[in-house]
Amino acid sequence: QVQLVESGGGWVQAGGSLRLSCAASRSRISYMGWYRQAPGEQREVVARISSSGSTNYADSVKGRFTISRDNAKNTVYLQMNSLKPENTAVYYCHGFRDYDNYWGQGTQVTVSS
C-alpha cells in the first residue's frame, strides 16, 4: 500500500501561482502525476512524471505548469503559474507502483477572476 498526502492548495486570484506537493509513503513509484476534477466534470490528467524525470502535460497547462519530483523524498510537485479561473478544481495526486494505482485525498484549488 502507498499513501499519498497532498498539500499546497488554496485560493488565488487569476494570474497568481500555487505550488502543490504530494508526499508518498513508499519509494520506487514508477509514475507520479496530478489529475483534477471540476464540479460536474470528469477527472482529467494535468501532468505526469516518470521515475527518470520524463514529463507530459495536458495541452491546456503547457508553458504554465511544471511537474517535478524528488525521489529521495518520495515527493512530487506541481508548480502552477498564470492560473486561470478555469483551473479551479480538486487536484489529486496519483502514483503507479507495482501495477497498482494510488490516489491522494485531493486538494482544492480555487482561482478567482
pLDDT tens-digit series, residues 36-46: 999 999 999 99
Tens digits of residue pLDDT in 104-113: 999 999 999 9
Give the bridge partners for 7, in sequence order: 21
In this prediction, residue 87 has a pLDDT band, given cuts at 50, 70 and 90, of very high
Mean local confidence (pLDDT), 77-93: 98
Tens digits of residue pLDDT in 53-63: 999 999 999 99
pLDDT at 14 (0 to 100): 98
Separation CA 37–CA 46 (nearest Å): 10
Burial (0-12, 13-18, 19+ Cβ within 10 Å), 8: middle
Radius of gyration of the chain (CA): 13
In this prediction, residue 78 has a pLDDT band, given cuts at 50, 70 and 90, of very high
